[in-house]
Amino acid sequence: MELREIQSFVLLAKTHSILEVARELGRTPGAVHKHLKTLEAELGVRLYEKRDGALHLTVAGEAAIPHFQEIVARRDSLIKAIADWKQQTGGLVRVGAGPNFSSYMLPRIISKFQHKYPKVEIFIETGNAKLLTESLENGSLDLIVEVAFPDEERHEFIPMALWESHVGIVSARGGLPSHCSMERIAKVPFILFQKGSRMQNMIDAHFQRMGFRPNVVMRSDSAEAIKAMVKNRLGVAMLFLYNANAEFRTGSLHIVHTDAPPLSARMVLLRRKSSYIPRAISAFAQVAQSTNWTNLHPMPLEPGTP
């Protein structure tokens, strides 16, 4: 089997379309189709089938795809290693993050990195955790940022940087007082993140440990949208406190201190396992790790603050 055949199959698993594979590789659809059929003939199994108007992997294809992705990833690593050795380019770093991190922390990291490494190109992709994980797995992203869970093991990824920040209940002035019991808050409308997101999963686990059931009236994948709703006194929200730094300074939002256990969340920068880390990616991780939440909180947090 040849690399071009493997590349076509790996892209098919991502795009579910021979036309899209041909477009990305700069080949004709006929050539891509031939690559796929040659690969199937050599392996003696069907690797994909048409379902619901798109091409999907068969059971055999699902079993084979991680191995083919690894081959493509190793080929990409080799090319990057040679480019580093020749010093022909400053390099490229492709980073994925959710809307939350992309809106607040990521711009600071990119600014510091570009100042230090002006010749390195940076590509940023914003999306949900599932999309970003798939992009990291198939090699279309070099690094992703996601909420880290304490007991979670990700054997296919390696952490490159880690941050921790407080998460707390945020309210508008004229709503709840600065100090309030969770019993009273239970009667207040909550505006939370979308179900299934890693951020919301962390919040749900926190509420479950307390035996607390919030009165959810709205969900969003955007911290900015949630803040706008809270400012209009449509409810309270659980946010990374750095999300509302500007609003804390102007007084339009405030932290609600409660009798609940404090909650801190970790964000982690991940890369795929490989034998070689391009210098540009390693440098980006170093800059990321050196960037923290210092001064993002407008005031010292009181003892017991979430």
Q: What is the DSSP string of 36-56?
A: HHHHHHHHTS--EEEETTEEE
Please return the burial class of 19, using the count of CB atoms within 10 Å of its CB with bins 0-12, 13-18 and 19+. Answer: exposed
CA distance 163 to 285: 12
pLDDT above 50 (res 288)? yes
pLDDT band at residue 125 using 50, 70 and 90 as cut-offs:
very high
Asked whether the predicted pLDDT for residue 293 surpasses 90, the reply is no
Lowest mean pLDDT of 89-93, 117-121, 155-159, name the range. 89-93
The Cα 11–Cα 281 span in angstroms is 23
pLDDT at 205 over 80: yes
Burial 167-181 (b: 16+ CB within 10 A, else e): bbbbbbeebbeeebe
Question: Which whole number is the average pLDDT over 211-227?
Answer: 92
Helix segments in 198-278, DSSP class H: 198-210, 223-231, 245-250
* pLDDT of residue 140 exceeding 80: yes
From the CB of residue 275, how many other CB atoms can be counted at a distance below 10 Å? 8
- Please give the residue that has the higher pLDDT: either 165 or 304: 165
Predicted pLDDT of residue 304 = 38
Confidence of residue 214 (pLDDT cuts 50, 70, 90): very high
DSSP summary character for residue 298: S
Q: Is the pLDDT of residue 303 over 70?
A: no
Report how far residue 37's alpha carbon sits from residue 179's, in angstroms, rounded to the nearest whole number: 66
Structural domains of the chain sorted by starting position, each given as residue range(s) with its CATH number in brackets = 3-85 (1.10.10.10), 89-163+266-290 (3.40.190.10), 164-265 (3.40.190.10)
Ramachandran sector of residue 268 (left: φ over 0; alpha: ψ -120 to 50; beta: rest): beta
Q: How far is CA 93 from CA 105, 121, 287, 291, in A?
A: 17, 6, 13, 17
Residue 84 is predicted with a pLDDT of 62
What's the chain's average pLDDT? 85
pLDDT at 270 over 90: yes
Q: Which residue has the higher pLDDT, 2 or 192?
A: 192
Model pLDDT, residue 296: 46
Q: Is the pLDDT of residue 47 over 70?
A: yes
The CA distance from 153 to 261, in Å, is 25
pLDDT band, very low/low/confident/very high, at 25 (cuts 50, 70, 90): confident
Reduced to 3 states, what is the DSSP secondary structure of residue 178?
coil
Confidence check: pLDDT of 305 > 70 = no
**In which band, very low, low, confident or very high, does the pLDDT at 1 lie, cut at 50, 70 and 90?**
confident
pLDDT, residue 230, reads: 93
Please check the confidence at residue 8 and state whether its pLDDT lies above 70. yes
Structure token pair of residue 167: 């998460």
Average pLDDT of the segment spanning 146-168: 83
Pair of tokens at residue 30: 């006929």
Confidence of residue 295 (pLDDT cuts 50, 70, 90): very low
Give whole-number Cα distances, 66 to 134, 137, 162, in Å. Answer: 11, 8, 27
Which position has the higher pLDDT, 125 or 105? Answer: 125
Q: Is the dihedral of CA 84, 90, 92, 93 positive or negative?
A: positive
- What pTM was computed for the model? 0.66
Give the pair of three-digit tokens for residue 242.
């750095």
